[in-house]
Amino acid sequence: MTVCCQFTVTMGATVPTGFEHCAAEEVREKLGAEAKISKDRGRIYFQMSSDSLPLVHQLRSVDNLFVVVKEYVDYQFKDSKEETLKDLQDLASKLPWTNPLEVWKLNNVLKKRRWRRRGANVSRPNPSSDGAKEGTQEGAADTETQSLEAEPEQPGRVEEDYEDNQGQQDKGSAETGAEGTPGVLKFRVTCNRAGDKHSFTSNEAARDFGGAVQEFFQWKADMTKFDVEVLLNIHNNEVVIGVALTEESLHRRNISHFGPTTLRSTLAYGMLRLCKPQVSDVIIDPMCGTGAIPLEGALEWKHSYYLAGDNNDQAVNRTVNNVAHIHRKRQEKGCGPWGLPIDTVQWNLCRLPLKTASVDIIITDMPFGKRMGSKKRNWDLYPSCLREMARVCRPGTGKAVLLTQDKKCFAKALSRMGGLWRKSHTVWVNIGGLHAGVYLLKRVASAFGETPEDTDERRDPRGAETAGEEKEEN
């Protein structure tokens, strides 16, 4: 990539809350940069050279990326709304826009090349044509219509050089003006505001700041078809102005066939990182849904083996479709063996058709009472789940990473399993407004069938009443 001069720039990224440290680790590993975790939960910041931009797109724990224009750690807001908003307006012309906009331009060049490489895939007019080719069953077809919008940027995994493909269509109007050709840029301002001492709303700030930005650059404001998205993030006294680099969130990157509760790939990545997959680890997701977790694992930690399983017809079909989709993309890229170490089985989680002690890691998103299943069913489901998972999991070395919103039910079920599972670590996350917990459990080094808990299912739980409440850890 030719850049006349490279410069240092501060990047910001939004990540699933609870996994900020995981994302910081990934930044350290892949970019060699130290990330700062913002007090505004779910955000990290790091510095990098402008020519590291392609590397940044390989981050798997990041939902959205932006370039920081300016950060105020302790912004002094005036008392009145009028004065505060005037200050914001005055700010627009004083900010160091040059370098961040340069990065935005570079990013567009990268995106354009990725779209071109995709060729025909981009301009597919009928979203369900994909389904017809694969011969998917009735059940899977209902989600096909989402596949075109949901087709993720997949900016990661671009290892090869950025040669332009001849004769391919450009993406569309968004590219106008991006490479210095004449044409007025369209923009919008998105404001996120948190804190109880502000005299203004996020809409007012966005409107007034946006007005000043428009004056300064002579850009055109457009809420839906914008080229530049300016971010105004206000968290108490921390104010960060940035320019967005990602259009759609990266968090649905692997999934083309959605289900009712498909997990964000960034969250799946964070959960996998927690359990640190080792070479030859057998990793199962016994309630895989659309296969988000095993698929993310098979892409990032190829040295392990992934078994995705579910009892539901639609779920296993969607999983197979998602795997096939990724296989096809890899085949198209043509860089070496395209197959992934992942397989799909239809099974009942409470009666797994697997040999005892044959699995190293169990990682899954357990049904939430509100979005799927019901609280009463979870009450019965969780203990049998945990028991069967303990049976197939290797004693001593085995682990489980379980995501659930039904913390009370889970805690109670777990309290009766002390002879099989030991709680190691918990991460609290936010899933679409619902607070959930990711529990990392270690399999106790006792063979299944020897502890009292697993031989007598109807045994009265000791201390059942105290098991329900659990303090927030971490």
One character per residue 353-382, x = contact with another protein (rule: CB under 8 A): xxx--xx-----------------------
Which residue's CB is nearer to another protein, number 146 or number 311?
311
Least CB distance to another protein at residue 208 (A): 54
Output the CA angle 31-246-252, nearest 5 degrees. 90
The residue among 267 and 307 lying less far from another protein, judged by its C-beta, is 307
Query: Segment contacting another protein (CB under 8 A): 49-57, 197-205, 335-343, 365-373?
Result: 335-343
Select the span of 54-62, 167-175, 298-306, 450-458 touching another protein (CB under 8 A): 298-306
**Please, which of residues 50-89 interact with another protein by CB under 8 A?**
none
CB of 314 to another protein, least distance (A): 12
Distances, alpha carbon 406 to alpha carbons 366, 385, 467, in Å: 9, 14, 13
Distances (CA, A) of 394 to 156, 157, 198, 238, 307: 34, 33, 54, 47, 15
Sole binder of another protein in the list 10, 89, 314, 344 (CB under 8 A): 344
Residue 157's nearest CA partner among 44, 63, 30, 294 is: 30
307 forms part of the interface with another protein (CB under 8 A): yes
For β-strands 238-244 and 228-235, DSSP reports them as antiparallel
User: What's the min distance (Å) between Cβ of 294 and another protein?
Assistant: 12
Contact by Cβ (8 Å): 11, 17 = no
Using CB under 8 A as the binding rule, whether residue 384 contacts another protein is answered as: no
Question: Could you tell me the CA-to-CA distances from 32 to 35, 111, 273 in Å, in that order?
Answer: 9, 23, 18
* 347 interacts with another protein by CB under 8 A: yes
Number of residues engaging another protein in binding (CB under 8 A): 31
CB of 105 to another protein, least distance (A): 36
Show contacts with another protein in window 255-294 (CB under 8 A): 279-280, 282
242 phi and psi, to 5 degrees? -145, 170
- Per residue, the 3-state secondary structure of 177-203, as one string, reads CCCCCCCCCEEEEEEEEECCCCCCCHH
Distance in angstroms (rounded) separating the CA atoms of residues 33 and 56? 11
Closest by CA position to 13, among listed 116, 155, 149, 138: 155
Site residues, another protein (CB under 8 A): 279-280, 282, 302-303, 305, 307, 311, 316-317, 320, 327, 336-341, 343-348, 351-355, 358-359
